[in-house]
Amino acid sequence: MTLKTKRLLLREIEDKDLENVFKGLSNPKVTKHYGVRFNTLEATKEQMLWFSDKKQMWWAICAPKNQVFYGAGGLSDIDLTSKIADFGYFQHFGERAL
């Protein structure tokens, strides 16, 4: 699913986002509150698999025209029976995303 406004594009996280997810989830400013930290690009592939799990629903948050990656957000641990889920997001700090 893709959602688009004048200011943002929310799209499914794709394999091409690996480096940007790594930039976000290796940054101490992000991981201080996020609870997961990756020290290598290879280790970040674990998070990419997690994003694709059917119990999660996450989107890349991008600029609408050039698809600059700003961060990601979504629902985790979705339980349709109980109708509950956790919400989370992370954004890049400092340098521009790829």
For 37-57, how does the pLDDT look when each residue is reduced to its tens digit (9 = 90+)? 999 999 999 999 999 999 999
Total structural domains in the chain?
A: 1
Residue 48 is predicted with a pLDDT of 94
Domain-located, residue 87: yes
Asked whether residue 73 is domain-assigned, the answer is yes
* Contacts for 16 with CB less than 8 Å, ≥ 6 apart: none
Q: What is the pTM of this model?
A: 0.83
CATH number at residue 40: 3.40.630.30
In-domain check, residue 98: no
Inside any domain, residue 24 = yes
Read off the pLDDT of each residue in 5-13 and give the average, rounded to a whole number: 92
User: Which residue range is the domain that position 67 belongs to?
Assistant: 3-91
Alpha-carbon gap, residue 35 to 56, rounded angstroms = 16
42 within domain boundaries: yes
Q: Tell me if 96 is assigned to some domain.
A: no
Which residues pair with residue 59 across a beta bridge?
12, 73
Residue 86 forms part of a structural domain = yes
Summarised one tens digit per residue, pLDDT across range 55-89 is 999 999 999 876 689 999 999 999 999 999 999 99
